A = this chain, B = another copy of it.
Amino acid sequence: MKKLINDPQDVVMQSLEGFALAHPDLVTVHNNPTFVVRTHPLDFATVALVSGGGSGHEPLHAGFVGDGMLTAAVPGAMFTSPTPDAIEAAIRAADRGAGVLTIVKNYTGDVMNFDMATELVEGSGIDVRSVVVNDDVAVEDSTWTAGRRGVAGTVFVEKIAGASAARGDDLETVAGIATRVNSHMRSMGVALAGCTVPHAGTPSFDLADDEIEVGIGIHGEPGRRREKMTDAHTIVATLMTAISQDLDLSHGDEVIVLTNGMGATPLSELYLVHREAVQLLAQSGVRVLRSLVGNYVTSLDMQGASLSVLRLDDELLALWDAPVHTAALRW
């Protein structure tokens, strides 16, 4: 294993320091406990959004801190849930008097620690609501999760809930919109090669030269099944069939498609995968109104991609299109 790092123990903090140096106008990084917060938040009382989870999925979540998206992010150690005290500190730093929505990917440790953090701020006058993201159609239960995992669709929730907060919606409304986004989206991914956690030093799983892992999660955990390597068209059809059936997509539906790289896949391949996805949806009469293609929710240096589909209505589309200014997403 070769990585552009110093001591494996320092990767998360040194990377966050680089992130802060690159985006001083956007974010401030706190240490002990570790969290990232918007440097100059709007000074009127809007709902604050806090998300977080294990590191190794960059730009998620710190890359989405900024105007129109997250107020704060809590990066845990590599592939490890952030601690309750760090989440608590982020919630307190983010609150502007209108309450805080936490956006939690459905992993047992994340859910537990965000719950504990919420209990820690109880009685301090900060109103906290939570939405648990569970968009992955690949696996129902796993060693990491009860129920479905939360994966790349998290970007849809954070962007659209962030726009809802920015336009001045109250906490109940923002939470309702986040829940609606979560229920209208599905994701599924494929790996061509596993990832290597810095302090582990060996790949999370080994695939033969002619094998792929269908339905992988974002922690190098295994997926639905191992298959023979095949072409992009066939792989995309497998993913999109599972997503379409589960989301009950039908003729006339309008959607956003996120074609997401797992970390080590060239952009040229992601755009090629995106072409297959859009063409396949078009054959079912589903129109892709917006596209997002790139590395947004990664799994360190995993080779592969995931597809996420969000069924739109007019309000969700308007909130998606609303301005956003973060390190990783801006328009």
Contacts and interface: CB of A to CB of B under 8 A. Distances in A.
Interface stretch (A16-24, A88-96, A115-123, A158-166): A16-24
B6 A267 contact: no
A212 B2 CA distance: 9
Given A5-B232, A21-B291, A233-B6, A266 B58 contact: yes
Contact of A229 (B2, B58, B259): B2
A223 interface: no
Interface in A205-263: 209-210, 212, 229, 231-233, 235, 259, 263
Given A2-B212, A5-B231, A331-B330, A21 B275 contact: yes
A15 B232 contact: no
A146 to B, nearest CB: 28
B18 A278 contact: yes
12 contacts: A2-B303, A4-B269, A4-B305, A5-B272, A15-B269, A18-B271, A18-B278, A23-B291, A58-B267, A264-B265, A264-B303, A266-B301
A56 interface: yes
Contacts of A295: 267, 295
A236 to B, nearest CB: 8
A4 B291 contact: no
B288 A21 contact: yes
A327 B73 CA distance: 26
Contacts of A273: 4, 18
B212 A278 contact: no
A228 to B, nearest CB: 11
Interface in A256-301: 259, 263-276, 278, 288, 291-293, 295, 298, 300-301
Interface in A287-331: 288, 291-293, 295, 298, 300-301, 303-305, 330-331
A235 B331 CA distance: 35
A3 interface: yes
Nearest to A235: B4
A237 to B, nearest CB: 12
A300 B267 CA distance: 8
Contacts of A6: 231-233, 272
A19 B209 CA distance: 28
Q: Could you say which of A18, A59, A63, A272 has the most chain B C-beta atoms within 10 Å of its C-beta? A: A18
A5 B16 CA distance: 34
Contacts of A276: 18
A157 interface: no
A235 B63 CA distance: 25
